[in-house]
Structure 1
Amino acid sequence: MPEFSRQVTPLDHRTAEPIVSGGQIEYEDFPCIIDVIGPLLYTLFQERWQQTQVGHVVEGSVLELEFTQAPKICVLYDGYLTVVTAAWHLHLCLEEHHGGPWGRTPPELRQQRRIQRASFYRRLNKRSQARSWGIQFWNGAGEKMMNLFLPNPFVDDAEKLLPEGKAQLDKLSLYEELRDIYVLGVRPIPYIENPLKRPYLSVCRSSRCYPSQKWQPIIEALQTAVKQEGLEVSVMTSGCLEVCTAGPVVFYSGDRTWYTRVTPEIAQRIVHEHVAQGHPVQAHVYPPIKTQASVQP
Structure 2
Amino acid sequence: MSEFNRQVTPLHQSAKEPLPSGGWIEFEDFPTTIDVLGSLLYFLFQDHWQEVGLGHMVDGSVLELEFPQPPKIIRLYDGYLTVVTEGWHMHLCIEENQGGPESTTPKELSRKRLVSRAALYRRFNPRGQVRSWGIQFWNGAGERMMNVFLPNPFVGENEDLLPENKPDLRKLGLYEQLREIYVQGSQLIPYETNPLKRPFVSVCRSGRCNPTRNWQPIYEALRSAVAESGLEVDVIHSGCLEVCKLGPVVFYSGDKTWYTCVTSELAQDIVYEHLCKGNKIKSHLYPPAKDL
TM-score of the superposed pair, with normalisation by structure 2:
0.98
- In structure 2, what is the equivalent of residue 267 of structure 1? 267
- In structure 1, what is the equivalent of residue 48 of structure 2? 48
Give the distance between the partners of 2:160 and 2:108, measured in 1 at CA. 44
- 1:142 is displaced (CA, Å) by 0.3
- In structure 2, what is the equivalent of residue 219 of structure 1? 219
- 1:290 is displaced (CA, Å) by 3.7
Deviations 1:129-173 (A, max 9, x none): 111000000000000001000000000111110112110000000
The amino acid across from 1:217 in the alignment is P
**Structure 2 contact 118–136 (Cα < 8 Å) conserved:** yes
The answer to whether the aligner puts 1:278 opposite 2:275 as a matched pair is no
Indicate the larger mover: 40-49 or 155-164: 155-164
Give the distance between the partners of 1:130 and 1:102, measured in 2 at CA. 48
The amino acid across from 2:234 in the alignment is S
- In structure 2, what is the equivalent of residue 92 of structure 1? 92
For the aligned residue pairs, the C-alpha RMSD in angstroms reads: 1.2
The answer to whether the aligner puts 1:110 opposite 2:130 as a matched pair is no
CA spacing shift, 1:290–1:48, aligned 2, 3 Å: farther
The answer to whether the aligner puts 1:127 opposite 2:127 as a matched pair is yes
- In structure 1, what is the equivalent of residue 10 of structure 2? 10
The amino acid across from 2:77 in the alignment is Y
> What aligned pairs does 1:224-235 form with structure 2 within 5 A after superposition?
224-235=224-235
Partner of 1:222, secondary structure, is helix
**Identical counterparts, % of pairs:** 64
Give the distance between the partners of 2:52 and 2:217, measured in 1 at CA. 37
- In structure 2, what is the equivalent of residue 163 of structure 1? 163
CA spacing shift, 1:130–1:290, aligned 2, 3 Å: farther
The answer to whether the aligner puts 1:68 opposite 2:68 as a matched pair is yes
CA spacing shift, 1:117–1:212, aligned 2, 3 Å: farther
> What aligned pairs does 1:196-215 form with structure 2 within 5 A after superposition?
196-210=196-210, 213-215=213-215
- 1:277 is displaced (CA, Å) by 1.0
The amino acid across from 1:261 in the alignment is C
**Structure 2 contact 252–258 (Cα < 8 Å) conserved:** yes
- 1:51 is displaced (CA, Å) by 0.5
- In structure 2, what is the equivalent of residue 256 of structure 1? 256
Give the distance between the partners of 2:227 and 2:236, measured in 1 at CA. 14
TM-score of the superposed pair, with normalisation by structure 1:
0.97
**Structure 2 contact 226–271 (Cα < 8 Å) conserved:** yes
Give the distance between the partners of 2:166 and 2:222, measured in 1 at CA. 55
User: Which stretches in structure 1 are left out of the alignment for 5+ residues?
Assistant: 293-297
- In structure 2, what is the equivalent of residue 194 of structure 1? 194
Deviations 1:94-137 (A, max 9, x none): 01111000000000000000000000000001111111000000
Give the distance between the partners of 1:79 and 1:28, measured in 2 at CA. 25
Partner of 2:277, secondary structure, is coil
Give the distance between the partners of 1:212 and 1:29, measured in 2 at CA. 50
Deviations 1:153-207 (A, max 9, x none): 0001111101121100000000100110011000000111000000000110112
- 1:291 is displaced (CA, Å) by 6.5
Give the distance between the partners of 2:291 and 2:257, measured in 1 at CA. 10
Partner of 1:210, secondary structure, is coil
How many residues in Structure 1 have an aligned counterpart in Structure 2? 292
